[in-house]
A and B are shown apart, each in its own frame.
Chain A
C-alpha cells in the first residue's frame, strides 16, 4: 500500500488524479504523522489507536466478543495489530503508518475512505460499507489498503491462543521431549 507513491497514483487514472491532488495537499501533515509514529519507535501510535478498535470488531464480526469481554478483546486486538506492524520490514511499517494516518485524519478519511462520521461516531454499517468499497475498489491502492487491514486484524486475532477455541483449533501438540 505505498499510499503516496506518485507513480501508483498516476497509474490509477482520473479518480487517481483527484486523489493525487488531495494527497499532495495533505502530504505534509501525513508525512509528519507517519514520521512521529516511527520516531517514537512505537507503532501503536494515536492513528492506530483511533482506527483499530473501530474496524477490528467489524472485520471480526461473528467471532468478536460482546458484553463483558469486549473491552479486553479491544485492548488485545489493538496491541496485537501493533505487534504485527512492529514485525514488518521498515518499508512496510512506513506504509502502514501512512495508511493509518490517512484513515485517522478527518479530511482524508472523508475524501479517500468515504467515511463521513468520525471514528467514534461510525456504526457497524458505516465501517462495513467503507471496507467493502475498498475491497472491491477499481483503484489498486485502495484494494491494497483493504488487504493490509484484513491481514493485520485477522492475523493478529488468530495469532492469539485465546481466539483458537472458537474455531476448534486445539493449538500445537504438547511434546513430551524425553
Chain B
C-alpha cells in the first residue's frame, strides 16, 4: 500500500493552511518565516524546526501529494508548474520548467543529483567565496545525500539514456551514471508529474513532513507580496491568498511577523520579492546575473523501439564537452537525456501538419538528447535580469546572444554526431528551419548553416539560478557567503538565487548542500546552540 503522508499527518495535527479557503484576513507569527517550500525552503524548514525554532513556510502553489499524482501531463503542468510549464523569458526565447507547489521544483524534477562541480567552486573562490571549497562543503553534501537517499543509480538505464552511452562510446566520449535522490524507485519514468510512489525523496516527502512533525506551519496557495521594511530590519511579510486554481490573487490578506525571514522562492521569485519590497540594492546587482543553463535539443529517429516515456528519465550523462573547455571560455555543455511524454514532446518539436504528425507517429522510436550550456563564467555570458510586470509578477529578461548561439551550434553538432553513431536513421535539431538529416555528413553541413536566431532555435531551461548573488563585497553582491542580506539584518536568501554563476550541473544538490550549511549557521545563531543536523 502506498501511503500518502499528508492526510495521515494532518490527522495527527500537522498545521497546513490552504489560503484559498481562508474566510477572513489573518496574522500569524513565528521565529522564522520561510518564503518557498522547494529545495532551499524544505532544507531550511527541517533544520530550523529541528533546532527548536518556530517556523512558518509560505508557498504560492497548491499542496498536492502522493494520492493526487496520476502521471498525467494535463493535470501536472497546470497544478505543479510555474505558469503551467509555459513560463517564458521576456522575449519568449526560452521556455522555463519550474515547479510551483508544495515541494517546489523538487516535486517535479527528474531526480538528477550532482555535488557542485569542483571547477565551479574554484571559480567562486576567485570571486572571494573563500570557504566554498570541496573539502568544506563535503560534510554538507554527505549529510544531504544521507537525508535524501542520493546515490548512483545502477539499475539498467532506459533505452533513451542507453543510446547516449552507445553513441558516445563509439566516439570515445565518456559517460557516467547519474546519482538520484530516490528510495525504492519503481523505474516508472514519471518523476516530472509528481512521484506516485513516494520513491523520489523530494522535499514533499522528506524535509517538509519532518518540519511539520516539529510544529512548523505551511501556508499553501499564498503569495508573498511584499516585505515590510523598517530601517535595516524586515518587520513583516504581506501575503495575499490565491484563488483556487492559483492564478489570480484574492482579497484575503495574511500578515506574517517573524524575528528572521528566509527567502527561498527560487531564482525568479526571490529577487522579485526583494524588488517589490524596494529592498536596498546599493550594488545594483539585485535581480541581475540570472542564469538558466540554456538548453538545446536534438531529436533522433531510431529503428528500434525507444519508448522514452518509460523508465527513470535521467540515468546517464556526459561532461566531456564541459571538461574539454576552460570554464570561462566558449560555453561548454552537459549532455543528458529527457523523459518523453506526449505534451512535452509535441509542443517542443518544431513544425506542424503532416511533418509533425509523422514524427509523432514515430513517438516510440524517438531518441532525444539535451545539451545544457554552462552560462555565467565566460565574461560575455552575463545572464539575464529579473524585472517586474505592472501587476508585480516577475519577468526574466534573458537575451540570447552570440556566446549562447555559438555554444548551441556546437552542442547540436555533438548531439547529432552521437545520435548517428548510436544508429539514428534521422536527426532533427529542434529548430524551426530544420527538416531533419539522414546522415552525420548532412547534419554537419546543415547545422553549420542553421540561422541562430531568437524563436527559431528552440531553447528551454529547467534550472534558474542567480539574481541574489553572494559575495564578500557589499558593493558587488546582494548577500554574503552565508546568504545574509548585506543591508537587511534579519533576512537570509537560501535558494539557487545565491549562485554567482550557473552550476554547470543540475542544481538541486548544490541548493541542498549550500543551504544546509548556511541555514545551520543561522539556526545556531537564532537558537543559541548548535543546529540540529538533518537525519
Binding site for B on A (CB under 8 A): 1, 8, 58-63, 84, 86-93, 128, 131, 135-136, 140, 143-144, 147, 150-151, 154-155, 157-160, 163-164, 166-169, 172-173, 175, 177-178
CB of B245 closer than 8 Å to a CB of A: yes
In the bound complex, residues from chain A placing their C-beta under 8 Å from that of B356 are: 59, 62, 154
Please give the distance in Å from B97's CB to the nearest CB on chain A.
13
User: Do A178 and B346 form a contact, CB below 8 Å, given A89-B247, A90-B247, A90-B391?
Assistant: no
> In the complex, A87→B79 CA distance in Å?
8
Please give the distance in Å from B381's CB to the nearest CB on chain A.
22
B433 touches A136 (CB 8 A): yes
In the bound complex, residues from chain A placing their C-beta under 8 Å from that of B188 are: 172-173
Looking at the complex, which of B318-326, B357-365, B415-423, B523-531 is the stretch in contact with chain A? Answer: B357-365
> In the complex, A160→B352 CA distance in Å?
18
Residue of A nearest to B74 (CB): A159
Known pairs A87-B78, A89-B83 / 9 extra A-B pairs, C-beta < 8 Å? A61-B357, A88-B84, A89-B87, A140-B455, A144-B92, A167-B360, A172-B72, A175-B196, A175-B197
B342 touches A159 (CB 8 A): yes
Within 8 A of A (CB), among B155-213: 188, 190, 196-197
In the bound complex, residues from chain A placing their C-beta under 8 Å from that of B18 are: none
> In the complex, A87→B80 CA distance in Å?
11
A169 touches B353 (CB 8 A): no
User: Do A159 and B73 form a contact, CB below 8 Å, given A91-B389, A150-B347?
Assistant: yes
**Chain B residue total in the interface (Cβ 8 A):** 50
In the bound complex, residues from chain B placing their C-beta under 8 Å from that of A128 are: 353
A61 touches B91 (CB 8 A): no
> In the complex, A88→B73 CA distance in Å?
14
In the bound complex, residues from chain B placing their C-beta under 8 Å from that of A89 are: 83-84, 87, 247, 393
CB of B432 closer than 8 Å to a CB of A: yes
Closest CB pairs A-B (n = 10): A62-B357, A172-B71, A87-B78, A159-B74, A158-B342, A87-B84, A143-B455, A61-B353, A167-B363, A154-B346
> In the complex, A135→B432 CA distance in Å?
7
Binding site for A on B (CB under 8 A): 1-2, 70-74, 77-78, 83-84, 86-88, 91-92, 188, 190, 196-197, 245, 247-248, 309-310, 342-343, 345-347, 351-354, 356-358, 360-361, 363-364, 389, 391, 393, 395, 432-433, 454-456
> In the complex, A128→B351 CA distance in Å?
11
In the bound complex, residues from chain A placing their C-beta under 8 Å from that of B71 are: 172-173
Residue of B nearest to A154 (CB): B346
A160 touches B74 (CB 8 A): yes
> In the complex, A86→B248 CA distance in Å?
11
Please give the distance in Å from B266's CB to the nearest CB on chain A.
15
Residue of B nearest to A85 (CB): B84
Please give the distance in Å from B332's CB to the nearest CB on chain A.
28
Residue of A nearest to B360 (CB): A167
B363 touches A154 (CB 8 A): no
In the bound complex, residues from chain B placing their C-beta under 8 Å from that of A87 are: 77-78, 84, 245, 247
Please give the distance in Å from A54's CB to the nearest CB on chain B.
14
User: Do A58 and B84 form a contact, CB below 8 Å, given A89-B393, A167-B342, A175-B2?
Assistant: no
